[in-house]
Structure 1
Amino acid sequence: MKKTNTSFSEYMNDWLYGSDGYYATYKNIGKEGDFYTAVSTSKFFGGTIAKHIISLVDEGFLKKDGVVCEIGAHHGYFLADVIEFIYTLRPELLKTLKFVIIERFDDLQIQQKEYFKDSFGDVITLTHYKSLYELKCKNAFFIANEIFDAFACELFFKGKTARVDGHEIEFDVDNEWVKQKAQKYHKSRGEIAVGYEEFALSMAKSCEKFEFMSFDYGEMQARPDFSLRVYENHKVIPFFDEDIKREELFKKSDITYDVTFEHVKDAYKEAGIEFIELKAQMVALIDMGILNLLEMLKENVDEKIYEQELQKAKMLIMPNFLGERFKMIRFRKIF
């Protein structure tokens, strides 16, 4: 029987980003979607990033006419929340900062433009690029939420790399690159992300001086097993569950895995970008001032509204929800 030559990374890329892939068109996120994100949980996620951006301006790292760029913005809620809080905290910056979204899909660009038009009218000019290679700037702050878990990956098991036959997984391919990565990160089985190196290099080439911050779930060291899973209507389905019906889930549900942040760190180091820190999301948000923002809210709204927003914000920092499992990783390039 002839083997098919589809690698798992090609299969996953088609699942998520093919012409009719899961992310090719707008999907609801949150209660009505397949999963929650920090952005769908509370506006204070974007608000805390806005506070951090202002601190970068005050520090002199980010110029007042620098670029604020979100990568993989989906509907555009995150960047819009950032802008809304900048307006509240330092409105004059909206006249000088440039706002950019990197979005490969035309349909999502249209959704984002419409949302920004509805939210801000002509006050904010939003610029789109399909990739970081198209962006050329001198000074920027890059932000992304749950991007590294959305890179396609290869699957590795006891020295062999997976291929896909139909929707069945066979471990019988010799792939030296995957094997070397598995050895480097001490994995006898699991996911090896594909594309981190190119992504880091594209960012390095896009801007002379920048800070990049991203939030995702995973750990610095690689997991010793498979974490690949599918999200459907807030149900988590392990990819290797014996009852899984992959052909029915294909392109209709999200597929993801835990990030090995050491791999991300190494990719950025190879691109000449300095690793700053990795923190639990709850620690990062508290350090950047989310509690100060909540205190400001308490002083300016009635108790009921404050309590509603407080409960939403707590979900960002509670260890048993998003606070501990999600991590913030931060990098800087200085010329």
Structure 2
Amino acid sequence: MNLLEERLRMVIGADGPLPLDRYMTLALTDPESGYYARLQDIGGSGDFVTAPEISQMFGELLGLWMADMWRRAGLPEDLILVEAGPGRGTLMADALRAMRRAAPSLADDHEIWLVETSESLKTIQKERLEGFDVHWAASVEDLPERPMILIANEFLDALPVRQLVRRGDGLVERAVGLHDDSLAIVEIEPQGDVPAGLPPMTEGEVIEIGPARAAAVRAIAAQIASQGGAALLIDYGHEMTVPGDTLQAMKGHAFHPLLEAPGEADITAHVDFAAVARAADAGGLSVHGPIGQRQFLLRLGIEARLAQLLKNADRETGAGLTAGFRRLTDPTHMGHLFKVLCISRTDIGVPTGYVTEEAFGTRA
């Protein structure tokens, strides 16, 4: 039993079972024993790997996307470049390298803001982005009120979710309690608002709702609506609000029991992109997608970038580049499960990488 589990047992003993979103928050963000306080690495030696760590092409193409959206927004001089959930800073470093070729003033003359809570990752990010004007915010709500181009890759999946279960004619909420002196999933009365319009559910089916995700998306959308700019949200998940239990813990690139050794494994849940789009759409903005990561990267020119890199690559490097391309775009890997949604001011028009018919609410 680790220190965080001991503290959780004390809280449960005093106040009763913890709803899953509260458990997830403590397991991930407790300042002393939470996962992000422990997190030292992302990639092969960590617990998971993200797209920027798979291939430089991912960050480079997003850097060009940011540059193009800056132009479409009218080249605002006070614009900030933002990444939410920046990991080791790899994505932003690759993006800035591409920006310096395509729009050097954007990379060199604008503040970079990273939404990050892990002190250990902040240290890595500072080293990776040395020479740039980098600032940190604890949440998207803490960003300066200025026009922004925001990228969030695998940010929303780590925000806490609630799980509701159909029991008879009503719903109960999943929580973490104690059973036989062990942490266990129990069912309690719903501890917060139950959204209207949930899909039909059969007995025992689970549906996940994400108030924290909706709040973060509304904050991003509100800033874009008032200040200008755009946001690109990339994550794994589903296009429609449907029942399903997707909450999972990962440690050492393998699934880990959700309640075992809290704080020592990453915890995520699939993103409900329909709910995200509805939260953004409430701000009266242009919302496009979600579309598959494969389709988005192909439209941005990943095949041409791969061909360019292969011209000067040795056999081993070329094999790595090709493997990275396949992992990012193959429908059986990340190409289909990962989806891309864009929030932008309507004066920007159809955002780069999308077509008119992909505006949210226009598709059958």
TM-score band by shorter chain is 0.7 to 0.9
Aligned partner of 1:198 in structure 2 is: 215
Aligned to 1:10: 22
Q: State the secondary structure of the residue aligned to 1:329.
A: strand
| 1:25/1:108 contact within 8 Å kept | no
Q: Partner of 1:276 in structure 2?
A: 288
CA contact (8 A) 2:147 2:223 kept: no
| Contact map agreement 1:62 1:139 (CA 8 A) in 2 | no
RMSD of the TM alignment (CA)?
A: 2.5
Structure 1, unaligned runs of 5 or more? 238-243
Which amino acid counterpart does residue 113 of structure 1 have in structure 2? K
* Alignment partner, residue 4 of structure 2: none
The Cα of 1:295 is off from its aligned counterpart by: 2.8
* 1:263/1:257 CA distance change after superposition, 3 Å: same
Query: TM-score, structure 2 length as denominator?
Result: 0.80
Q: What is residue 113 of structure 1 aligned with on the other side? A: 126
- CA distance in 2: counterparts of 1:126 and 1:149, whole angstroms: 25
CA apart distance, 1:306: 3.5
Query: For 2:321, which of 292, 305, 309 is the aligned residue?
Result: 309
Q: Deviations over 1:97-123 (max 9, x none)?
A: 332212234443233112222xxxx3x
- After TM superposition, give the deviation of residue 255 of structure 1 in Å: 1.4
Is residue 70–residue 149 contact of structure 2 (8 Å, CA) maintained in 1?
no
Partner secondary structure for residue 184 of structure 1? coil
SS in structure 1 of the partner of residue 76 of structure 2 = coil
* CA 298–80 in structure 1, closer or farther in 2 if over 3 Å, else same: same
Q: 1:73 to 1:161 in 2, by over 3 A?
A: same
Rounded Cα–Cα distance in structure 2 between residues aligned with 1:219 and 1:309 = 28
Equivalent position of 2:35 in the other structure: 22
* Sequence identity percentage: 23
Q: Secondary structure at the match of 2:228?
A: strand
Alpha carbons of structure 1 residues 165 and 135: separation in structure 2 relative to 1, 3 Å: same
Across the two proteins, how many residue pairs are aligned to each other?
Answer: 321
How far apart, CA to CA, are the structure 2 residues paired with 1:306 and 1:169? 47
1:76 is aligned to 89
Is the partner of 1:141 in helix, strand or coil? strand
CA contact (8 A) 1:186 1:222 kept: no
Q: Spell out the pairing of 1:252-291 with structure 2 (5 A cutoff).
A: 252-291=264-303
**Is the 1:147–1:216 contact (alpha carbons within 8 Å) kept by the matching residues of 2?**
yes
Aligned residue runs from structure 1 range 17-56, under 5 A? 17-19=29-31, 20-56=33-69
TM-score (norm 1): 0.86
Q: Does 1:149 align with 2:168?
A: no
Question: Is the deviation greater in 183-192 or in 325-334?
Answer: 183-192
Q: Which amino acid aligns with 1:184?
A: L
Counterpart position of 2:193 = 177
Determine the structure 2 residue equivalent to 1:240. Answer: none
